[in-house]
Structure 1
Amino acid sequence: MTVHDLWAGLSRAEIADRRARNAPRWQRRWREGGGRDGRQRKASYKEAQKAQALLDDAAQLEQPRARRIMRESVTVRTLIDRHLATKADRSEGTLRDYDAQARHVNDAFGDRVASTLEATEVATWAARSGVAARSRKKQVELLRAAYRRGARDGLVDVDPTHDIVVSLGYKEVSYLSSEELVAVLAAARDDVDRALLGVMGRMGLRQGEATSLRVRDLANGALSVTTSGAASDRTKTRAGTRVLPVSASLLPLLESLARDRDPSAWLFESPRRPGHPVGESYAKGALLRAITAANIGRAHPIQHLTPHGLRHTFAAIALGELHYDLVTVSRALGHARPSITLDRYGHLSRSGLGDLMSAMDLAVGTAASIGDI
Structure 2
Amino acid sequence: MSVHDLWDGLPKAEIARRRQKNAVRWQRRWRGPDINPTTGRLAQHKQSYSDNQKPQALLDEAAQIQSPHQQGTRSSSVTVGTLLDRHLAAKADRAPKTIEADEYHASVVRDTFGDRVLSTIDATEIEIWSQRAEPAASSRKKQLELLRAAIKRGVRDNLVGVDVTEGLVVSLRHTERPYWSSQELRAVVDAASSDFDATMFRVLGFLGLRENEMRTLRVGDLVGNQLTVRDSKTRAGIRTLPVPASVLPSLVELAGSRPKADWLFVSPRRPGNAVSKGYANAALTRAVGGANAIRIDPIRRLSAHGLRHTFAAIALSEAGGNLLSVSRALGHARPSITLDRYGHLAPAGLEPLMALVDAFAVPKAA
TM-score, normalised by the number of residues in structure 1: 0.78
CA distance in 1, matches of 2:159, 2:357: 49
Residue from 203, 210, 220 that aligns with 2:207: 203
Residue from 168, 175, 200 that aligns with 2:172: 168
The letter for the 1-side match of 2:63 is: D
The letter for the 2-side match of 1:199 is: V
Change (3 A) 1:258 1:3: closer
User: What is residue 193 of structure 1 aligned with on the other side?
Assistant: 197
Superposition misfits of 4+ residues, deviation over 4 angstroms: 1-5, 25-28, 68-73, 272-275, 351-365
2:249 matched to 1:249? no
Contact 1:54 1:67 in 2 (8 A): no
Residue from 335, 344, 368 that aligns with 2:332: 335
Q: After the TM superposition, which of the residue ranges 84-93 and 131-140 deviates more from structure 2?
A: 84-93
Q: Deviations over 1:53-76 (max 9, x none)?
A: 133323443x22x34565455332
Q: CA deviation at 1:112?
A: 2.5
CA distance in 2, matches of 1:244, 1:27: 44
2:62 matched to 1:56? yes
The letter for the 2-side match of 1:150 is: G
CA distance in 2, matches of 1:309, 1:2: 52
The letter for the 1-side match of 2:248 is: L
Q: CA deviation at 1:179?
A: 0.5
Unpaired stretches in structure 1, ≥5 consecutive residues? 6-13, 29-42, 229-235, 366-373
Contact 2:57 2:85 in 1 (8 A): no
Contact 1:215 1:264 in 2 (8 A): yes
Change (3 A) 1:27 1:116: farther
Q: SS where residue 280 of structure 1 aligns?
A: coil
Q: CA deviation at 1:285?
A: 1.5
Residue from 301, 310, 314 that aligns with 1:313: 310
Residue from 94, 97, 102 that aligns with 2:98: 94
User: What is residue 11 of structure 2 aligned with on the other side?
Assistant: none
Give the aligned CA root-mean-square deviation in angstroms: 3.5
User: What is residue 43 of structure 2 aligned with on the other side?
Assistant: none
Change (3 A) 1:59 1:104: closer
User: What is residue 127 of structure 2 aligned with on the other side?
Assistant: 123
Contact 2:2 2:28 in 1 (8 A): no
User: What is residue 37 of structure 1 aligned with on the other side?
Assistant: none
Q: CA deviation at 1:359?
A: 4.8
Q: SS where residue 291 of structure 1 aligns?
A: helix
Q: Deviations over 1:133-188 (max 9, x none)?
A: 11111111111111111111222223232222110122222111110010011111
User: What is residue 219 of structure 1 aligned with on the other side?
Assistant: 223
CA distance in 1, matches of 2:291, 2:349: 29
CA distance in 2, matches of 1:27, 1:209: 41
Contact 1:27 1:53 in 2 (8 A): no
Identical residues among aligned pairs (%): 51
Residue from 111, 115, 121 that aligns with 1:111: 115
CA distance in 1, matches of 2:29, 2:253: 63
Q: CA deviation at 1:26?
A: 9.2
Task: Kindly report which structure 2 residues correspond to 1:1-373, keeping only aligned pairs within 5 A, or say none.
Answer: 22-24=24-26, 46-61=52-67, 63-64=68-69, 66-67=70-71, 70-228=74-232, 236-350=233-347, 355-356=352-353, 358-359=355-356, 364=361
The letter for the 2-side match of 1:166 is: V
Q: SS where residue 227 of structure 2 aligns?
A: strand
CA distance in 2, matches of 1:248, 1:2: 59
Change (3 A) 1:152 1:354: closer
The letter for the 2-side match of 1:213 is: L
Q: CA deviation at 1:252?
A: 2.0
Q: How many residues align?
A: 336
Q: Deviations over 1:90-126 (max 9, x none)?
A: 2233222222222222222223233333323322221
Q: After the TM superposition, which of the residue ranges 48-57 and 139-148 deviates more from structure 2?
A: 48-57
Q: After the TM superposition, which of the residue ranges 81-90 and 43-52 deviates more from structure 2?
A: 43-52
The letter for the 2-side match of 1:294 is: A
TM-score, normalised by the number of residues in structure 2: 0.79
Change (3 A) 1:357 1:120: closer
Change (3 A) 1:174 1:2: closer
Q: CA deviation at 1:205?
A: 1.4
The letter for the 2-side match of 1:23 is: R
Contact 2:3 2:26 in 1 (8 A): no
Contact 2:3 2:55 in 1 (8 A): no
CA distance in 2, matches of 1:339, 1:111: 30
